[in-house]
């Protein structure tokens, strides 16, 4: 499994909901965690590895107990606003200040198919929103203002020039 890089068109893909939690999905989730750790990330959405399902994984602690899987996540509530820097494994070398809700309430299924809800604020809320955006085909560069977009143009152009679809198959 490999992290897809911008401008891979699959990163713009809106995923399908998970209808059944299968052994194949469990195996894909295990590979997603491995891929995320190899890339030194803290979150990874299915679209970032070419999987057409509403799933993402996060680990904010780096410890095995910190691993969380979100299947068919829903944002139930969002409050406040914070502007903080963000980066993305699919946009290597790029960082931008993004406006996000300061606190969120999310519902999802775990790998056993059990529903759970969580309320997070600050950095964990930011990570949840970032990964949920990926499942809708939204990248952090879509969240920046016009002036910031101009500032990122050079790095985006580099990524576009380096992009080779065959490298990610």
Burial zone of 93 (CB within 10 Å; 0-12 exposed, 13-18 middle, 19+ buried) = exposed
**Measured between alpha carbons, how far is 46 from 158 in angstroms, rounded to an integer?**
24
Establish whether 131 is a catalytic residue. yes
Q: Which helix (H) or strand (E) holds 47?
A: none
Task: Please pick, among 67, 131, 160, 168, the residue that the annotation labels catalytic.
Answer: 131
Name residue 20's beta-bridge partners: none
Q: What angle do CA 121, 82, 159 make, to 5 degrees?
A: 105
Query: Is-contact 46 29, C-beta < 8 A?
Result: no
Residues belonging to the active site:
131
């Amino acid at each position: 499994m490999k992290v897809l890089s911008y401008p891979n068109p699959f990163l713009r893909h809106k995923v399908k909901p998970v209808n059944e939690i299968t052994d194949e999905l469990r195996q894909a989730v295990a590979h997603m965690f491995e891929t995320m750790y190899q890339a030194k990330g803290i979150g990874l959405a299915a679209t970032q590895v070419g999987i057409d399902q509403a799933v993402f994984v996060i680990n904010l602690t780096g410890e095995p107990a910190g691993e969380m899987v979100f299947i068919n996540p829903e944002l139930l509530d969002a409050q406040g606003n914070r502007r903080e820097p963000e980066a993305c494994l699919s946009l290597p070398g790029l960082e931008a200040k993004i406006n996000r809700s300061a606190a969120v309430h999310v519902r999802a299924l775990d790998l056993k198919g059990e529903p759970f809800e969580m309320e997070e604020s600050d950095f964990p809320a930011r990570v949840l929103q970032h990964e949920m955006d990926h499942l809708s085909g939204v990248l952090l560069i879509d969240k920046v203002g016009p002036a910031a977009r101009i500032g990122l143009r050079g790095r985006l152009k580099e990524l576009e020039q380096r992009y080779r679809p065959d490298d990610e198959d």
